[in-house]
Amino acid sequence: MTEKNRGRSASLGELAELVGGRVSGDSSIIICGVASLDSAGSGEITFLSNPKLRSLLPQSEAAAIVVTPKLAENVDKPLLLVGNPYLAFAKLLTFFRVPAFKAEGISSGADVHPDAEIADNVTICSGCVVGAGARVAQGTILHPNVVIYPGANVGQDCVLHAGAIVREDCHLGERVILQPAAVVGSDGFGFAPDGEAYFKIPQVGRVIVEDDVEIGASSTIDRGTLGDTRIGRGTKIDNLVQVAHNVQIGENCILVSQVAIAGSTRIGDHSTFGGQSAAAGHLKVGSNVTIAARGGVTNDVADGTSLAGAPAIPHRDWLKASVSMIHLPNLRRDVSKLKQKLAELEAMLTEHED
């Protein structure tokens, strides 16, 4: 789908200013949307970052192209020259994007407690419930059926999608995005054995979600037992991810879909967990760590390490080991034959000795 005709428009020159680039060609042409190289029509801007797709340029009907100076040679179109076309493209998409729900204040179908503090310029859609003592800062939008428990705190310019839930006393920083049905502040999974049964340990800590964090659809972030669970600034969490109680995640980390981080584990900054990977509890995972998809971390991890497999081992070793797996049955057969042959040789030699 192109974003054409959604309403917003700007000159190529204005867009260059927006993304920090410069124009080659007519900077006065008007752009009203962004689209991919093969689908962009007149009035739309597209981008080129993959040299292999350069051959598609002549056929493109795009009005202008975001491109690096290097790839721009001999292109006969208005150009927006930038160092990082992918990032510029993201910024243009953001500029042209029109929100699904218009900002319309507090819907009469929302139930906002009189003791909640709602800033000006907040949109609260129908079906939302905001509890006593909760605070919602300016510019934030709560899509339909969002629930903010009493005492929770939602910062400025947050976007909470339908069905997202923020439990009591939890904090969201600024520009936090919760995808639909994301849960912040569910009880940590803590029980004290009591004979054969388990006695629930009330989880009275909070979740602190720092600025610019995104949490995916149906992901669950448990509150701390006594202290807080913390998601550091700029960290991005995909769908169906589990973050257990008292976990501390640093800044600008990436947790891909279906990751699970067990209780009290600490992760540094700028670390990445691939899809379905996991970390056991009470571990210290450093910064700039990469865990491959499906990796299972069972020990502390030093800064800058790349691991794979479960239990996780250095990625390079895992690649070799996993390639070897398929040969395991043959290997067993070989070793069995070797044992037999060696026994024959020994018998033969002993014979010689005699």
CA distances for 250 relative to 37, 229, 247, 269, angstroms: 36, 11, 10, 4
Q: Whose CA is closest to 37, among 63, 9, 71?
A: 63
Cα diameter, the chain: 104
Residue from 13, 17, 27, 236 that binds a second copy (CB under 8 A)? Answer: 236
Active site residue 113: no
Considering beta carbons, is residue 79 or 125 the nearer one to a second copy?
A: 125
Helices (H), 24-115: 85-96
Residue from 119, 226, 302, 347 that binds a second copy (CB under 8 A)? Answer: 226
User: Interface with a second copy by CB under 8 A: which range of 10-18, 60-68, 74-82, 173-181?
Assistant: 173-181
* Shortest distance in whole angstroms from residue 29 CB to a second copy: 21
Residue from 30, 191, 300, 302 that binds a second copy (CB under 8 A)? Answer: 191
In the range 64-83, which residues lie near a second copy by CB under 8 A?
none
In the range 93-132, which residues lie near a second copy by CB under 8 A?
93-94, 97, 100-101, 107, 109, 111, 125-127, 129, 131
Name residues whose C-beta falls within 8 Å of residue 343's C-beta, 6 or more positions apart in sequence.
none
Q: Which of 143, 161, 245, 270 is catalytic?
A: 245
In the range 12-51, which residues lie near a second copy by CB under 8 A?
34-36, 39
Residue from 30, 103, 345, 347 that binds a second copy (CB under 8 A)? Answer: 345
The DSSP result for 145-169, as a single string, is T-EE-TT-EE-TT-EE-TT-EE-TT
User: Interface with a second copy by CB under 8 A: which range of 21-29, 54-62, 70-78, 186-194?
Assistant: 186-194
Residue from 86, 103, 282, 300 that binds a second copy (CB under 8 A)? Answer: 86
Q: How many CB atoms lie within 10 A of CB 63?
A: 21
Specify whether the CB–CB gap between 294 and 276 falls below 8 A: yes
User: Could you identify the residue written with the tokens 């499906």?
Assistant: 294
Specify whether the CB–CB gap between 168 and 151 falls below 8 A: yes
Q: Nearest 5°: CA angle at 130, between 111 and 233?
A: 150
Considering beta carbons, is residue 121 or 287 the nearer one to a second copy?
A: 287
* Rounded-to-integer distance, Cα 61 and Cα 307, Å: 45
* Shortest distance in whole angstroms from residue 217 CB to a second copy: 4
* Shortest distance in whole angstroms from residue 28 CB to a second copy: 26
Considering beta carbons, is residue 72 or 166 the nearer one to a second copy?
A: 166
The DSSP result for 320-334, as a single string, is HHHHHHTTHHHHHHH
Determine, following the binding rule CB under 8 A, whether residue 276 of this chain makes contact with a second copy: yes
In the range 280-339, which residues lie near a second copy by CB under 8 A?
280, 293-294, 296, 309-311, 313, 317-318, 320-329, 331-332, 334-335, 338-339
Catalytic positions are 245
